[in-house]
Amino acid sequence: MTRAFASLFAAVALLAAGHAQAQGVDTREIMGFGPQFRGGANPIPKATVYFNGNYAPGTIVVNTAERRLYLVLPNGQALRYGIGVGRDGFRWGGVHKITAKKEWPSWTPPAEMLARRHDIPRHMAGGIDNPLGARALYLGSTLYRIHGSNEPETIGQAVSSGCFRMTNDDVTDLYNRVSVGATVVVLN
């Protein structure tokens, strides 16, 4: 009887493993990093810090070298968030405005990404499995966004195709604090 139970348990485990493998696309591969990253809490928690810069309150300053995003506050302070940035060859700089904000955004890879990666879907509906995460802030006329990520272990890493990723908690916090039209300064 024990042997029969063990055989039944093994069969169910194999079926479950096959079902798990058939669940769709691993979005970690889509956005430029692989399964070597595993779960965990935000490695770079949000903090209020002193900020020495000549930016108006409400400005977002992205420092790609530090892998930090600052939301400028009054009185020489800022909220500092950890971010994931573009990997080598995908970093950029400039000044833009937030032109749109979306909750649980859908994702359509740009033509440049599709040319590099033929194995990715042409469109993904918004939701927990979407690589843009819980919120997205769209940057001017660029292809880039500040967006959430379901892999917090990538925060502080250079892994994206040019977007800035944050934990879903942090991007939701930022999303609730800024408006369309806010200035975003990307220092590279």
- Residues annotated catalytic, as ranges: 147, 163
Query: Is the sign of the CA dihedral 141, 65, 38, 29 positive or negative?
Result: positive
C-beta of residue 131 within 8 angstroms of C-beta of residue 139? no
Structure-derived torsion over alpha carbons of residues 43, 44, 46, 47, reported in degrees to the nearest 10: 130
Structure tokens at 74: 């009054």
Residue 5: helix, strand or coil by DSSP? helix
Query: Is the sign of the CA dihedral 44, 45, 50, 52 positive or negative?
Result: positive
DSSP-assigned letters across all residues of 123-169? -B-SSTTSTT-SEEEEETTSS-EEEEES-GGGTTSEEESS-EEEEHH
